[in-house]
Structure 1
Amino acid sequence: MNINTEILFSAIVATGIAGALSKFFSLPIRSARWHFLLTRLWVPGVALFLLSAVFGVKSERINDVYWLLVFAATAAMLVRLRNYRPARTVLLAMAPFVLWFGLEFLVALFGNRLIREYEDVFETAQGFTIFWMITFGLIARSQKKQLEAERLVREEEEKAKQRIEAQNSELERMVSERTAALTQQAEELRYTLTELKTTQAQLIQAEKMASLGELTAGIAHEIQNPLNFVNNFSEVSSELLQELEEEQQKPNRDTELESELLADLKQNLQKISHHGHRASSIVRGMLEHSRASTGERQLTDLNALCDEYLRLAYHGLRAKDKTFNATLDTHFDPTLGPVNVISQDVGRVLLNLLTNAFYAVQQRQKRQEPGYKPTVVVSTNNRAGCTEIRVRDNGMGIPENVKQKIFQPFFTTKPTGEGTGLGLSLSYDIITKGHGGSLSMESEEGKGTEFIITLPI
């Protein structure tokens, strides 16, 4: 093969290598500019071929210059793609061969004598660079396959991500529709809740009125006693005044008798005043119970309050059932001082608990058990940091399956028409939420029930 033909052959080989590299590195996608330049590497070869043919140049160095140009262009392309791992590997694969080729070219410029003397060395070096280039070429090929596999995985992940996003979008649409439906339901529930609250307020008011009715009946019975005393002592006092006037009109007045009459009159007036205050106290308690609670706390004698409402609840039930009688047992702690509470609210709680206690013993009394004596016990105790009030009865007791529901609103064990089921619920809220205390219950079916109120001092 002559020199000119060798240049033309080199151009064809370089074009093939450039096409292979362009395809290997996907240059049309990665860099259209370098793809264009590499696929035009045959142009300098053809130009050198024509120049050498026209001017009759026969030097072998023309072909070497062309290859150096090819190597330079390829190296520049690989440097441009240095972020792509196979490109760095191919650059490393070419480096020894290009170095060997450049060294041989420089040595050949000064003559071929040195090359002939060290021909074995140059051939060995050439073989090593070719082996090196093939080895790292295979490594680059393996790296490309690995990156391609990773790219496919990423594409699958991206597709999966897109599918997930599509599903999320669909779910968001469904959630939006469901949210709109729930919002509409919430509005309907809010309207229903408003109606329920209105009904509840009416029921609570009915419960208060029922409680007030029971209290009024007890007060009517309780107030009758001091009024009877007032009437009786008023009549006796009128008789004493009449005797005193008659004695004063006598010519011979008995001063000793007049003193006795005045002393009796004074004692009667004191008793009238005492029982009048007693009646006023009962009326005042009735007014306090009937009016809405102001929420203001005041120091209250709980012993007196318990005693007051015990008798009012008892006489309230007796006003309905004249045949009912029960033993009232009190154990009040004398060391218990005034406690800062809302007296009207605590009074309502006591009235509810005591009314329930008397109702329980009344129901058991109707069974006519031999030897049964209805008894309601009220006791107070001064504990460490708190005051304890206990209301115990020996009535029917509460079944186990009912105990957990006893403080629930609208739950009642009484027959229809005899209770709203709000008494204990309201009492629980007054003690726990209104006073920061506790209201608990202990009961044994067939033996009785005890309610325990604990109020912080």
Structure 2
Amino acid sequence: MRLQDRYADLQSALVERTRERDQAQHQMGALSNLLRAISNAPFELLVVLEAIAQSSAELCEADDSTIFLRREDELGDAFFADASWGTSAEFRAFMAANPRRLWHKSLVPKVVNARSIVHIPDKLLDPDYTFPGATQTRLGSGLSDSRALLGIPMYRNGVIEGVFSLTRREPTAFSDKQIKMVEMFADQALVAIEHARLFDEVQCRTHELSRSLEELRKAQDRLIQAEKLASLGQLTAGIAHEIKNPLNFVNNFSALSGELVDELRETLGSAPLDVRTREEVDEVTQLLKGNLEKIVQHGRRADSIVRNMLLHSRTGSGEHRLVDLNALIDESLNLAYHGARAAEPDFNVSLHRDLDPATGLVDLYPQEISRVLLNLIANGFHAIAKRRDEGVPRNYEPCLAVATRDRGDQVELRVRDNGTGISDSVKARMFDPFFTTKPAGEGTGLGLSLSFDSIVKQHGGTIDVATELGHFTEFTIVLPRSSRDIT
């Protein structure tokens, strides 16, 4: 008999050990799944919280689990069911629309108000428990039809940031070991929340730093260009002043000499000269007259270059005042178009205007902006004519468009043409002084450089270009609306 009792004890111990082993294996599997979920998505908070909810429910033999996190809304502090496992879709939708309030008498408010663990083995035996706004038939599985409830407060710096709840549909109390395990999972959830918060802060800060770095690079590029232009301006101003006086003498005396040649020819016309001598005199005077005309022509061109150099070297121009930008653009567009038609009667292009009425008045140097517009529009006309001369499809329609947009404290201006476009090598140098792709005698290479100088240095704005070779070029200018915004 004693042997039988001992055998029964061993058999009972074996069953208990087997049960403990199976339970340990189950716990290890649940923990392994949790660690795998955390490692696969360490900063995806919802994924991590749902994995914690699932693992805690499985290890503690609960039917479902929910993690409530505190947030403020129009009614004050509320606890929202941010992650759950084992609950129905109807229950989750209901909880999303009905967060737990501190004046309720359900599990979560009880935990928060008591500031401690709340364990209800059977809610039907707790007369102080209610689940507001829900019925079993409406929600199905979830807190509404559960019997045993366990709520664990989630503290951070002495403040309850959330509540970890587990429920069973049968009135079976949770063991002390299971409660300790849920506390551990609640701590793990807080760590995950803190990691996600820090990650979001780092991401936000990284984005801000990247944006600041990009703005700093742009400002540095503008500063370098402005310094280069300022140094060049000082140099060109000195050279231009030295050249202008002798150039004026050349222009004036060559024009005067041309008039003297005409007088000489009139005088010799009445002189008694033989035919051969008269022919030689006419030939020499005609040649001299032609040479003087070329001197006058190129002298005037040199004078124009000197004026542009002096214009490039100055820091201000005209009166700074409020101007209707749309009206200024329309005036400049018409002037440039009629100028192009006067130079080439066969030139034709469609002009598109998309002027935002909200652009309104802008504080600027109207003469300078008009000069910039004329230069950009003239360059667009040149690119369109060049593409036309190179041969284009029959359906090609030359077009130049101008547009404005109100940007609050700034205004945006765009000039776009569907001409030849700009290559990368030219784009890299297009704002450099004296750089030009036009044939000799057609451009000084100062137009875009002066435009950059005016927009950036005088007005504190920006000028950028987008282009595709063989298709289009678009200049975008952004100007501060008020001179107070210029930095």
TM-score by length of 2: 0.36
- Between structure 1 and structure 2, the one with the greater Rg is 1
Q: TM-score scaled to structure 1, two decimals?
A: 0.38
Per residue, is there more helix in 1 or in 2?
1
